[in-house]
């Protein structure tokens, strides 16, 4: 009996101590962030301009088969990381150029997915390198501008998420054997292409 | 087999109601980042803000379903792409004469196609017709963009909403499998045609042309009613 009470007392004391020393909740981590790697992982959830471009390339690679999908899986994150590191070492972030690049990526990749053109695997790999290099470079420039000093870790988070995103999306497109599934992928491509064209109109409209 | 399909239908009977409830949910606005959330929401609401646009989008889906096969996806792919070309030109300030009449004609002619269940031998003609009208609708939206929004999110929301309207039309068009459904679709086409006649009548009114420059009415937050987008 007394042993049970002792156990309860100890448990209550432990709980009391635990509740008396809470850490801050930090529910809204706008200022603190989640840490550099997690900030990088969260990048694609907060940046549709990068996420949809990567998705379009992954779908394009998936439509072109497993070989293209495998190449994109490694080339896109690697080039994104390389471009990001180059951007980190560069000065002069230009949001306008970033928007133009994003809009053109949407337009080109979206139309390629929508039309389902039989591109050679090497061309898909080249597109992956270009896309990764350009978007990663602007990511790096932005991180340099933000001055966190932990851009490399953030880029690692970005590259890891990109790997997962490309793996999932390209695998989905590769396995899209029924006609309706392939059509659904192409419709998504047409929507991305249409968004890119409208976005480029917005950019030009903003210049006026 | 029939029993299992009925069971499946019953199992998913809640789905339309859930979709409608989710579509009507108001925005949370707990922590607003200026421009960003408004951009997607404005873009997504824009195609729903005018009956003329809804009529044309749904008619494209209905006609695609009537034509069947490749047309079912060809028309909804063509429309957003060509519409974005029109939107692009509208955004950069290229004028388009007869815009309101073109939009009214889109509902009228597409409604006629659905009502009469016109099936051209080649898919080129439906694609051209849908593309031309998509151009007019896109241009109208391009010239009346709300200021100070995120261009990317607005564009994504706009295209998704347009595609959703097409999917609504295609889904309704699946009734085409049954004789009664075919008649229902044709009646829907007739209703769109009548709306088109009204839009055309309104477009050729002298007052309509005078008030044309006032199309910066920011229909992004306007309720869906008979007021047209342009």
Read off the pLDDT of residues B143-161 as tens digits, 9 standing for 90 and up: 877 666 677 888 888 888 8
Mutate to test the interface with B, among A46, A196, A197, A207 (most CBs of B within 10 A): A197
Alpha-carbon gap, residue B230 to B207, rounded angstroms: 13
Backbone angles phi, psi at B122, to 5 degrees: -100, 145
Which of the pair, B227 or A28, is modelled with greater confidence? A28
User: What pTM, to 2 d.p., does this model score?
Assistant: 0.76
Residue B31: is its pLDDT beyond 70?
Answer: no
Query: B157-211: per-residue pLDDT in tens?
Result: 888 888 888 888 888 888 888 888 889 999 999 999 999 999 999 888 776 554 4
Q: How far is B21 from chain A (nearest CA, A)?
A: 24
The verdict on residue A160 lying in a domain is yes
Asked if residue B47 lies in contact with residue B161, where contact means CB atoms within 8 angstroms, the answer is: yes
**Contacts for A172 with CB less than 8 Å, ≥ 6 apart:** A59, A62, A185
Place of tokens 């909403």: B161
User: Which H or E run includes B136?
Assistant: helix B124-143
pLDDT tens, position by position, B56-79: 888 988 888 888 877 777 776 778
What's the CA gap between A78 and B44, in Å, rounded? 35
Query: Which residues on chain B place their C-beta less than 8 Å from a C-beta of chain A?
Result: 31, 73, 76-77, 80-81, 83-85, 87-93, 142, 145, 151-156, 158-160, 162-163
**Residue-averaged pLDDT of chain B:** 77
- Quote the CA–CA distance of A161 and B132 in Å, as a whole number: 41
In degrees and rounded to multiples of 5, residue B225 shows phi and psi of -150, -165
Three-state SS at A35: coil
Distance CA B189, CA B55 (A): 9
Do A77 and A28 contact (CB within 8 A), yes or no? Answer: no
Enumerate residue ranges in chain A where pLDDT < 50: none
Three-state SS across A21-51? CCCCCCCCCCCCCCCHHHHHHHHHHHCHHHH
pLDDT of residue B224 exceeding 50, the answer is no
Taking Cα atoms as reference points, which of B70, B209, B13 lies closest to residue A182? B70
Residues contacting B74, CB < 8 A, separation 6+? B64, B123, B126, B127
* B124 pLDDT higher than 70: yes
Contacts of A169 (CB under 8 A, 6+ apart): A54, A55, A58, A59, A62
Contacts of A111 in chain B (CB under 8 A): 81
Asked if the Cβ–Cβ distance from A190 to B153 is below 8 Å, we say: no
| Residue in this structure with the two tokens 């999306």, named with its chain if needed | A169
Spatial separation of the C-alpha atoms in residues B16 and B158, rounded to whole Å: 22
Q: Please report which confidence band the pLDDT of residue B52 belongs to, taking 50, 70 and 90 as the band edges.
A: confident
Nearest CA in chain B to A113: B77
**B50 pairs with which residues across the strands?**
B225
Does A25 reside within a domain? no
Q: Please name which of A199, A162, A205, A141 lies closest in space to residue A73, comparing C-alpha atoms.
A: A162
Question: Using a CB-CB distance cutoff of 8 angstroms, which residues of chain A are in contact with residue B159?
Answer: 191, 194-195, 198
Number of residue pairs across A and B with CB atoms under 8 Å? 89
Residue B5 exposed, middle or buried by CB count within 10 Å (0-12, 13-18, 19+): exposed
What is the total count of domains within chain A?
Answer: 1
Identify whether A5 is part of a domain. no
Which residue in this structure is represented by tokens 């031998």?
B121
> Residue A69 falls within a domain, yes or no?
yes
- Enclosing domain of residue A64: 37-207
Cα of first residue to Cα of last residue in chain B, in angstroms, is: 50
Which phi and psi angles does A174 have, rounded to 5°?
-65, -40
Q: What is the pLDDT of residues A168-185, one digit of tens each?
A: 999 999 988 887 788 889
Helix axis angle, A48-63 to A36-46, nearest 10° = 80
Task: Find the helix or strand (DSSP H, E) in which B117 lies.
Answer: none
Nearest Cα residue to B38 out of B149, B131, B160: B149
Neighbours of B39 (CB within 10 A): 25
Classify residue A15: in a domain, yes or no. no
pLDDT at B28: 57
In a domain, A101, yes or no: yes
Kindly identify which residue of chain B lies nearest to residue A98, measuring between CA atoms.
B152
What is the sign, positive or negative, of the torsion defined by CA atoms of A125, A173, B57, B23?
A: negative
- Tokens 């007739």 sit on residue: B190
Contacts of B47 in chain A (CB under 8 A): none
| Residue A179 in domain | yes
In the block, residue with structure tokens 């953030």 = A154
The shortest CB-CB distance from A194 to any of B81, B89, B152 is to: B81
Helix (H) or strand (E) holding A30: none
CA distance A105 to chain B (A): 12
Q: Do residue B156 and residue A197 have CB atoms under 8 angstroms apart?
A: no
Residues of A in contact with B92 (CB under 8 A): 201, 204-205, 208
How far A188 CA sits from the closest chain B CA (Å)? 9
Is residue B138 over pLDDT 70? yes
In a domain, A149, yes or no: yes
């Amino acid at each position: 009996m007394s042993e049970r009470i002792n156990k309860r007392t100890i448990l209550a004391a432990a709980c009391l101590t635990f509740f008396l020393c809470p850490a801050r909740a930090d529910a809204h981590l706008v200022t603190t962030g989640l840490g550099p790697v997690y900030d990088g992982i969260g990048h694609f959830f907060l940046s549709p301009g990068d996420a949809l471009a990567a998705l379009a390339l992954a779908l394009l690679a998936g439509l072109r088969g497993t070989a293209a999908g495998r190449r994109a899986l490694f080339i896109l994150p690697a080039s994104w990381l390389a471009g990001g590191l180059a951007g980190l070492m560069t000065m002069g972030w230009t949001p306008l150029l970033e928007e133009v690049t994003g809009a053109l990526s949407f337009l080109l990749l979206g139309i390629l997915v929508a039309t389902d053109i039989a591109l050679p695997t090497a061309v898909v790999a080249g597109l992956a390198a270009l896309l990764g290099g350009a978007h990663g470079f602007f990511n790096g420039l932005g991180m340099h501008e933000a001055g966190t000093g932990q851009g490399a870790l953030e880029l690692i988070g970005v590259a890891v998420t990109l790997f997962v995103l490309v793996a999932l999306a390209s695998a989905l497109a590769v396995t899209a054997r029924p006609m309706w599934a392939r059509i659904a992928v192409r419709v998504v491509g047409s929507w991305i292409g249409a968004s890119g064209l409208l976005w480029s109109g917005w950019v030009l409209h903003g210049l006026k | 087999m029939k029993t299992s399909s009925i069971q499946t239908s019953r199992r998913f009977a809640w789905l339309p109601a859930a979709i409608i409830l989710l579509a009507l949910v108001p925005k949370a606005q707990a922590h607003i980042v200026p421009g960003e959330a408004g951009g997607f929401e404005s873009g997504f609401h824009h195609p729903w803000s005018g009956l003329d646009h809804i009529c044309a989008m749904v008619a494209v889906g209905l006609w695609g379903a009537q034509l069947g096969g490749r047309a079912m996806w060809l028309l909804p792919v063509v429309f957003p792409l060509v519409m974005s070309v029109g939107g692009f030109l509208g955004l950069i300030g290229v004028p388009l004469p007869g815009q309101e009449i073109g939009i009214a004609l889109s509902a009228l002619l597409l409604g006629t196609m659905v009502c009469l269940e016109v099936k051209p031998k080649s898919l080129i003609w439906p694609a051209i017709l849908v593309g031309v009208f998509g151009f007019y609708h896109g241009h109208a939206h391009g010239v009346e963009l709300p200021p100070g929004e995120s261009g990317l999110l607005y564009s994504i929301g706009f295209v998704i909403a347009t595609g959703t309207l097409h999917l609504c039309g295609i889904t309704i068009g699946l009734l085409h499998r049954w004789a009664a459904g075919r008649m229902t679709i044709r009646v829907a086409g007739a209703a769109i045609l009548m709306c088109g006649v009204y839009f055309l009548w309104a477009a050729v009114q002298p007052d309509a042309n005078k008030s044309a420059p006032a199309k910066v009415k920011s229909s992004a937050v306007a309720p869906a009613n008979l007021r047209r987008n342009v």
